[in-house]
């Protein structure tokens, strides 16, 4: 998977949005709202009232299936914006993965923001399409390699990247069991492609090898 879509949106694009009413429109920075790990940001079915930009931390977007299983459809990282919907209700749950700081924006009544928000909507759509391509890959190692390449690209293609999500989260995102995720990551470690520095910090030692696994 070579096409990586950046969903990070600079504050200039958000100029058509204003903070929550209690902050006022005096130009002061939008205050941070803090969410502990596992805290719900919004629920499926809730009315869309705000959009969110992540200052630090990470967020998972998911839906609960009829059989009780969880399907994660997206991860959002620091600097990225989420919470946009095609209609007036949220179709998924949003939850903080780790302690997360969000800046919350509310639309200005009567202000047409379509020109500013359309690029973001298109980026989100393409990222959703890329996720379908990843899940549709035949082997677990292809899915995980594509996921890691994407995570690295969204963190500036650094050699060391953070994975705030758990192995279970990765499995629920890629359609794999936690055992399969752990086994594939261990295999990549044993081959010298990856090196772990604790549970959340990962070093990609052979980037080209990793990319070749998902092409």
Domains observed in the chain = 11-117 (2.60.120.10), 136-212 (1.10.10.10)
Count of other CB atoms within 10 angstroms of residue 207: 14
213 CB-side CA count, 13 A: 22
Give yes or no for residue 53 having a pLDDT over 90: no
Q: Which residue has the higher pLDDT, 19 or 184?
A: 184
Predicted local confidence at residue 110, as pLDDT: 61
- Reading the block at residue 62, the tokens are 């998911």
pLDDT at 68: 85
Nearest 5°: CA angle at 85, between 26 and 120? 70
pLDDT of residue 132: 63
pLDDT, residue 121, reads: 59
CB 45 within 8 A of CB 136: no
pLDDT at 104: 86
Tokens of 201: 């910090």
Specify the higher pLDDT residue, 110 or 214.
214
Q: What's the pLDDT tens digit per position in 174-183?
A: 999 999 999 9
Angstrom CA distances, 104 to 83, 107, 138, 139, 192, stand at 10, 10, 39, 39, 42
Size (the chain), residues:
215
pLDDT score for 123: 67
pLDDT band at 118 (very low <50, low <70, confident <90, very high): low
Q: pLDDT of 83-116, one tens digit each?
A: 888 788 999 999 999 999 999 877 666 665 566 6
Report the distance separating Cα 39 and Cα 96, nearest Å.
5
Average pLDDT, integer, range 74-83: 90
**The model's pTM:** 0.79
pLDDT for position 199: 85
| Range in 91-100, 114-123, 156-165, 192-201 with the lowest mean pLDDT | 114-123
Closest CA to 201 of 150, 165, 174: 165
Q: What is the band of 191 on the pLDDT scale with cuts at 50, 70, 90?
A: very high
124 pLDDT more than 70: no
Contact between residue 196 and residue 163 where contact means Cβ atoms under 8 Å apart: no
Residue 33's Cβ-count burial label (10 Å; 0-12, 13-18, 19+) is middle
d(CA 40, CA 62): 11
Rounded-to-integer distance, Cα 12 and Cα 93, Å? 27
Mean pLDDT across 166-191: 96
């Amino acid at each position: 998977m070579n096409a990586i879509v950046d969903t990070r949106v600079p504050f200039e694009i958000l100029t058509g949005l204003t903070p929550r009413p209690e902050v006022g429109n005096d130009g002061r920075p939008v205050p941070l709202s803090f969410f502990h790990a596992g805290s719900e940001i919004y629920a499926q079915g809730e009315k869309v009232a705000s959009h969110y930009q992540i200052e630090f931390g990470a967020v998972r977007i998911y839906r609960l299936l009829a059989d009780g299983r969880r399907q994660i459809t997206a991860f959002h990282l620091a600097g990225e914006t989420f919470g946009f919907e095609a209609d007036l209700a949220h179709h998924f749950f949003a939850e903080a993965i780790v302690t997360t700081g969000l800046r919350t924006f509310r639309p200005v009544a009567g202000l047409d923001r379509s020109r500013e928000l359309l690029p973001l909507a298109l980026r989100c759509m393409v990222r959703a399409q890329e996720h379908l391509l990843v899940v549709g890959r035949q082997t677990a190692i292809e899915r995980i390699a594509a996921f890691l390449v994407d995570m690295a690209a969204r963190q500036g293609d650094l050699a060391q990247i953070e994975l705030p999500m758990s192995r279970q989260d990765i499995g629920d995102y890629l359609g794999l069991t936690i055992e399969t995720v752990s086994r594939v990551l261990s295999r990549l470690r044993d081959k010298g492609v990856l090196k772990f520095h604790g549970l959340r910090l990962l070093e990609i030692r052979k980037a080209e090898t990793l990319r070749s696994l998902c092409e």
